[in-house]
Amino acid sequence: MTTLDELAEITAAAAAAAPAVANATADTRSGWLSAIADALDAHADELAELANSETHLGVPRLRGEVARTTGQLRLFADVITEGSYLEAVIDHADPAAVPPLPDLRRMLYPIGPIAVFSASNFPFAFSVAGGDTASALAVGCPVVVKAHSGHPALSARTAELTADALRDAGAPAGTFALVTGRETGTALVRDPHIKGVGFTGSVAGGRALYDLAVSRPDPIPFYGELGSVNPVVLTTEAVSARSSALAEELVASFTMGAGQFCTKPGVVFVPAGSDFASAVAAAAVAETGGRLLTERIAEGFAAGLGALASDPEVTVVAGDIAQFDVHSTATPVVLATTAPALVTRSETLLEECFGPTTLLVSYASDSELLTALRLVPGSLTATVHSEPGEDITELVEVLRDRAGRVLFDGWPTGVAVNWAQHHGGPWPATTSLFTSVGATAARRFQRPVAYQNAPARILPAALREENPLSIPRRVDGRLTFD
């Protein structure tokens, strides 16, 4: 475990490096990110094997996750060289306006050293060199990562490769560091050198750290991804047209990674009177399940199943709810209830259960469906399966209010990494507007600064009249590219 004295040295080094990291050109920081990506790709086989020894997620999946992680690093390298992430705006002076308007120029600046808390379920993409780290380094913030206890050896090796790549690429000492230990993590959020936090994990853990971040003498932003049930709605026509296929696809989605994806479909609304539950039960029999990542997750899965199954309005459609051996395979469990029951006990029935399980909720009318959906807690995703010609306008409006990403005729597990992606949602899915996936992740670790009537020689390159960086800017209200 990193001692508190060691932590103080690490955060002080990050603070000392912050001006140089912030002032490095976009091309320079882009080179740092590419260097990290190249180093991870060069050691992908080694890293995947090491990750599998600690997580049991399987080498093929982990090898793919390395590729996703390096692709993410390269995306942010492109984001910062493209330049719109700076949100540069120029409004020229207008002395004839009433009142007269000064010359104002605004752009975003990095906020300083960032604390990143690794996730258990994605040991690469949401871990040491994952989206939080990539986006913070991209915009010019040093990073101190708190390693997850579920994969300590992998964290240390990934950090070693990352630090070496940054050093060889010319990044200042203190640009990146890794720390370990729960007490150290708490102290990291409180450390006065830290100016923002990225977190992926449980609601309880995230809320505790969030409270620490905002109760500091100098409160700092906390960007947490916490819990999500990711509702799915199947219309009557969709079930009539393709019940078997939908059942098989649902089972594949909620059992993927032993049900440990943040986007797992945890609650599925199905038309009453259909045979969909039977089709799901038949498909679930073929799935063998998998070992859960940590004893704490396994214990939580067992407790969650017990709480759901004990409700008098819940039935077990398939699987064994008595999964209490934390060292054994977690097998799929399908539960069922009704929309009226969910409405009366939403706090219990809509509690996230992390693991290979899902809750089928039957609805007898559109009114029942919409009433129940409005009680679903904020989620990362919401999904609709319908048929052409169906009017789903109101349904989509309700789901849009409950989730950050609305999918159609697909499944939420699997998150593309590109400019358009958004991986957030209302509480408790996330604590703010943006998370670590997609280009807008860069926005979290910047703050706006406006220059009023500044001498030309003082202006940063992004705000100079001649636009030497050739980046997109809004000038006098119009978006320009020259």
Catalytic residue among 65, 141, 225, 352: 225
Neighbour-count burial for 62-83, b at 16+ CB within 10 Å, e otherwise: bbebbbbbbebbbbbbebbbeb
Is residue 353 annotated as part of the catalytic site, yes or no? no
Domains of the chain, by residue range, sit at 4-226+430-475, 231-408
Architecture per CATH, domain 4-226+430-475, reads as 3-Layer(aba) Sandwich (3.40)
Rounded (10°) angle between helices 44-55 and 152-168? 160
Helix or strand run (H / E) with residue 306: helix 295-309
Copy the structure tokens of residue 367: 């009114």
Catalytic residue among 65, 141, 262, 352: 262
- Going residue by residue through the chain, which has 482 residues, state the pLDDT in tens, using 9 for 90 and above: 999 999 999 999 999 999 999 999 999 999 999 999 999 999 999 999 999 999 999 999 999 999 999 999 999 999 999 999 999 999 999 999 999 999 999 999 999 999 999 999 999 999 999 999 999 999 999 999 999 999 999 999 999 999 999 999 999 999 999 999 999 999 999 999 999 999 999 999 999 999 999 999 999 999 999 999 999 999 999 999 999 999 999 999 999 998 899 999 999 999 999 999 999 999 998 888 888 888 889 889 999 999 999 999 999 999 988 876 655 689 999 999 999 999 999 999 999 999 999 999 999 999 999 999 999 999 999 999 999 999 999 999 999 999 999 999 999 998 989 999 989 999 999 998 888 899 999 999 999 999 999 999 999 999 999 999 999 999 999 999 87
Given this chain, do its domains 4-226+430-475 and 231-408 carry the same CATH topology?
A: no
CA atoms within 13 A on the CB side of 159: 23
Is residue 313 annotated as part of the catalytic site, yes or no? no
pTM of the entire structure?
Answer: 0.94
Name the β-bridge partners of 448: 108
CA atoms within 13 A on the CB side of 361: 29
The CATH H-level (homologous superfamily) assignment of domain 231-408 is Aldehyde Dehydrogenase; Chain A, domain 2 (3.40.309.10)
